[in-house]
Amino acid sequence: MPVGRDQQGIRNFSHQDLEWLKYAKLLNEMEVSLDFQIEYVKLVKLGKKAKPARKDLLNEQLAKLTASYHCLVERIVEIGYNDRKTTICMTRGK
């Protein structure tokens, strides 16, 4: 979605433009794929008729992010366990 420009060619961001930028930044911070982002924007441009498809796409992405989150938590727990185990072994002189 192109951003408007003034007579000097300087970008003139609307409130909606800024909301899109915040949303894009959020998706990037969550490491959501560019393909997902492109597909989502295409569906938004289609309007209300694409709302079910957008919802499905978001639910798919939520499932992926949730799985990644759980995997990360498991690894963090494992690192903590292994660190405690290593510390115990070191204090016992092993």
At residue 10, the pLDDT reads 93
Q: Could you tell me which of 18, 61, 57 has the C-alpha nearest to residue 41?
A: 57
At residue 3, the pLDDT reads 85
Q: Where are the domains of the chain?
A: 4-91
CB 5 within 8 A of CB 11: yes
| 31-71 pLDDT, tens digit each | 899 999 999 999 999 999 999 999 999 999 999 999 999 99
pTM score of the predicted model: 0.67
At residue 46, the pLDDT reads 95
How many CB atoms are closer than 10 A to CB 54? Answer: 16
Average pLDDT on 72-85 reads 82
Evaluate whether the domain defined by 4-91 bears CATH number 1.10.10.10.
no
